[in-house]
Structure 1
Amino acid sequence: MTGILTLLFLGLMFLGMPVAFAIGVAFMMFYLFGPAPAMISVQKIVGATQSFPLLAVPLFILAGHLMNHSGITERLIRLSTVLTGWISGGLAHVAIMLSALMGGVSGSAVADAAMEARVLGPSMLKSGLSKGYACAAMSVGSLITATIPPSVGLIIYGYLGNVSIGRLFAGGIVPGVLMTVALMGTAYVIARRRNYKPELDAVPSPGEIGRAAWDCKWALIFPVFLIVGIRYGVFTPSEAGAFAIAYAIAIGVLVYRELSFAKLVDALRHSAQDIGMIMLIIMLSSMIGFVITLEAVPQTAAEFLTGLTSDKHVLMLLLVTFILFLGCLLESTVIVLLLTPILVPVVQAAGIDLVHFGLVMMTATTLGSMTPPVGVAMFAVCGIMKCPMNVYTREAIPFLGAVVGLIVVMIFLPDLVLAVPNWVFGPG
């Protein structure tokens, strides 16, 4: 019956029904016409709202919007320009570096992509960059924001898979840095072939870099506070979200003095929209867990996949291929909610570290937000920049290829991914 419900869900999605309601309608059929009492569906929906670890999701979303309105983003743009504006491709590198820096203050790739399209997009076109190249750099580059802590996707994965969120946060640092290098390398090669000019005329002096970095010090040290606080038990990941909100308000009001009451209201309004969308999906998706448990889907999937291969690397390649395919059809939050309860038992049985798999899975899952036909980050950037889909897709292929290559490296070099978690928290 699970397969029929999944097909119903996909059919409703293609008919244009919002994701949350497509999930709700499809899987409510199991409780109305299947073996489970209908009242269990309501219990599951309500129960999803009572999770303390899940409280981190709305808290970090609000914190990210507050930091965007507190003057931190503008300072990070200046630092990104100083660090990378002298490289061929100019503002494309600035956008990618900004995504890396924004990863420490925002957990949403879509929010980061939309912000960059509004703030940097017009300047990128004026500097001579093609519209497709600019959109691809901003859209695919925003994947870094969802990798470097704090990441909303990692919080959801950790909650559903019962995996340490602190270790996941620490594990996102090395992949995030490697992704920044890979995407900037791709942007540089394309820029050199097309003779795109740098944004700055000369390499900045150490003093200029130091002054720009000092101006951003409160944003740069926030991820350090976050990981150290979780590591030494100062706060839980959920409490860290509350700390992030207080931190953003304190910096915006007392230090930079740019967080006015009007900006605070605007941040609350955007946060309410994002939180409402994500939490509604999570609430209605909670019905799925009971369905797949009753239908023994994890056990069936584990037997099928382990029957195909006993090699960990091949198994992860198969799973990533499947996730990348789904990413072209479904929103990343939905994929995490649907697959985490199914795949975690599979990879556990295969002896794969759950932190390692979580980071590989989230990178592959979030990449779907940058690919047609339903990539949310792609739509956000292309909509703001008025870029045709075919133009974006053609220009994004090299950037997407770089990320896929990094995913393969992450699969075959787990020690690289787990280096920081093992150093900070000890061997898992």
Structure 2
Amino acid sequence: MISLTMLVISVALFLVRVPVSISLGIATLVGFLMIGLPATVIPSRMIDGVDGFALLAVPFFILAGNLMNAGGVTERIFAFARAVVGWISGGLAQVNIVASIIFAGMSGSALADLAGLGAVEMRAMKKNGYPVGFSAAVTLSSCTIGPLIPPSIILVIYGLATNTSIGQLFLGGVVAGLVVAAALMIFVYAYVRISGVEWAKPEPFVFSKVVDTAIHGAPALLAPVIILGSLVLGVTTPSELGAIATAYALLVGLLYRQITWRRLYEALVNTVVMTSVIMYLFAIATAMNFVIARERVAHHAAELMSSYITSPFVGILLVNLFLLVVGMFLEGPVAILIIAPILLTVVQELGMGPVQFGVMLSFNLLIGMITPPMGIGLFVGAKVAGTTPENVLKASLPFFVPLIAGLLIISFVPGVTTWLPGLVFSR
């Protein structure tokens, strides 16, 4: 009853446009008062929530992504991807997707991909005659790959919220990200071939251009290799991996001589602002989850699910539908901190492990990020493309087909998320 009251208060405040941070704070205060604890207990619970070494990964990964954008990395990634896959039907649309795969190994944020690499991609597509709506739709869809492939801020938050190995989550997201990318590339190929549009013609393949862009972009292209290699070899922890990614991003920016004092200052300010928001949400959600845990909501939800649903397939399908709806209204970190501990107990009763659920949950919320009414990705994508969110949404609707297909594969094929973690951690 208390947990339901907290939820109702939060949603009601969201609907009247009260900031998320204030809404959760008020709901948590009401919950503590209802269970008879003084409000003075809330700060101690909040401090306990952010008092962890693993949380250092969050600001480091955010800073690494900002430095990558400031250091001229995005242009070189796009040039290399264009030389490698520009010859496939779909042309620059395929390049867009592959570039997002490469950039995903450097930045843990979908919005960093959308605002940084997306600007380069859409500018090139517009120059080559691609419609603005289609360009924005491809960019918006491909940016969801970023937080699946390590490093990933959203997977770090899930791991800390559910006490799941962040290393296993990172490795579990690698194959899942490639599956989603393959689904998008196949869809673009089929769309272009069936519609026969003139503007999506492939470019000639020139091997010397591949070599040239690889040499010029080698420092940037090596970043995913260094980051993922350090994780697979067990050389670093996720927190240390964030520091390595940041140092390497700064080194690459200095090497390309594109990081100025102004850009560095802006990257640091953006990092501090974003980190502050995430840390506060993590702290207040920890206090809120203290109340939820006392009521044993996760246990009762699991019992209720097992009583009415006997088929794991149906159960997981319903969880996915619920998460898609949640993602339309709540930002990823907020949704994870509130519902992940509860739903993890539910899906474990259905036979799903914490790593598979973490990747599935994260991708659900990423799809929600580009879905109205609250999808921030739509507004960022529209701003970068220089059009309206309505136009971007209209053009993006067909791309939900490959995204949902990728989600279903992640949800019902456990090996996609468990094979690589099992292979590495068994050693």
Write the mapping of 1:6-405 to structure 2, written as runs, cut at 5 A.
6-192=7-193, 193=195, 195-198=197-200, 201-205=203-207, 207-253=208-254, 255-405=255-405
Stretch moving more, 222-231 or 92-101: 222-231
Native 8 Å contact 2:69 2:117 kept in 1 = no
Gaps in structure 1 of 5+ consecutive residues: none
Amino acid of the residue matched to residue 287 of structure 2? M
Structure 1 residue 369 displacement after superposition: 0.5
Amino acid of the residue matched to residue 151 of structure 2? P
CA distance in 2, matches of 1:410, 1:227: 21
Stretch moving more, 101-110 or 61-70: 61-70
Amino acid of the residue matched to residue 202 of structure 1? P
What does the per-residue CA deviation read over 1:372-402, in whole Å, with 9 as the maximum and x for residues that have no partner? Answer: 1111111101133243333322221221121
CA distance in 1, matches of 2:67, 2:379: 24
RMSD value over aligned CA atoms? 2.0
Corresponding position of 2:421:
421
Amino acid of the residue matched to residue 283 of structure 2? M
What does the per-residue CA deviation read over 1:317-347, in whole Å, with 9 as the maximum and x for residues that have no partner? Answer: 1111110111111111111111111122223
Native 8 Å contact 1:167 1:421 kept in 2 = yes
Amino acid of the residue matched to residue 93 of structure 1? Q
Structure 1 residue 262 displacement after superposition: 2.6
Classify the secondary structure of the residue corresponding to 1:149.
coil
Structure 1 residue 167 displacement after superposition: 1.1
Structure 1 residue 83 displacement after superposition: 2.2
What does the per-residue CA deviation read over 1:114-135, in whole Å, with 9 as the maximum and x for residues that have no partner? Answer: 2244333243234332222121
- The TM-score, its normalising length taken from structure 2, stands at 0.93
| 1:264–1:35 Cα change, 3 Å | same
| 1:201–1:63 Cα change, 3 Å | closer
Native 8 Å contact 1:128 1:196 kept in 2 = no
CA distance in 2, matches of 1:121, 1:28: 45
Native 8 Å contact 1:104 1:219 kept in 2 = no
CA distance in 2, matches of 1:116, 1:230: 24
Corresponding position of 2:409:
409
Classify the secondary structure of the residue corresponding to 1:172.
helix
Amino acid of the residue matched to residue 337 of structure 1? L
What does the per-residue CA deviation read over 1:155-207, in whole Å, with 9 as the maximum and x for residues that have no partner? Answer: 111111111111111111111112112112222333341514347641232x3
Structure 1 residue 97 displacement after superposition: 1.7
CA distance in 1, matches of 2:219, 2:171: 19
Stretch moving more, 282-291 or 142-151: 282-291
Classify the secondary structure of the residue corresponding to 2:40.
helix
CA distance in 1, matches of 2:407, 2:12: 30
Structure 1 residue 113 displacement after superposition: 1.0
Amino acid of the residue matched to residue 71 of structure 2? S
CA distance in 2, matches of 1:291, 1:95: 45
Structure 1 residue 103 displacement after superposition: 0.3
Stretch moving more, 371-380 or 274-283: 274-283
Native 8 Å contact 1:136 1:395 kept in 2 = yes
Structure 1 residue 15 displacement after superposition: 1.2
Structure 1 residue 404 displacement after superposition: 0.8
Native 8 Å contact 1:129 1:196 kept in 2 = no
Stretch moving more, 59-68 or 215-224: 215-224
Structure 1 residue 417 displacement after superposition: 2.5
Native 8 Å contact 2:316 2:350 kept in 1 = no
Structure 1 residue 418 displacement after superposition: 1.8
Amino acid of the residue matched to residue 98 of structure 2? M
Structure 1 residue 95 displacement after superposition: 2.1
Classify the secondary structure of the residue corresponding to 1:38.
coil
Native 8 Å contact 1:85 1:200 kept in 2 = yes
Amino acid of the residue matched to residue 326 of structure 2? L
| 1:125–1:229 Cα change, 3 Å | closer
Gaps in structure 2 of 5+ consecutive residues: none
Classify the secondary structure of the residue corresponding to 2:301.
helix
Amino acid of the residue matched to residue 215 of structure 2? W
CA distance in 2, matches of 1:215, 1:318: 48
Structure 1 residue 357 displacement after superposition: 1.4
CA distance in 1, matches of 2:147, 2:303: 32
Native 8 Å contact 2:100 2:142 kept in 1 = yes
Native 8 Å contact 2:49 2:287 kept in 1 = no
CA distance in 1, matches of 2:292, 2:224: 36
Stretch moving more, 414-423 or 318-327: 414-423
| 1:70–1:275 Cα change, 3 Å | same
Structure 1 residue 106 displacement after superposition: 0.3
CA distance in 1, matches of 2:49, 2:231: 24
Amino acid of the residue matched to residue 259 of structure 1? I
Stretch moving more, 150-159 or 107-116: 107-116
Amino acid of the residue matched to residue 46 of structure 2? I
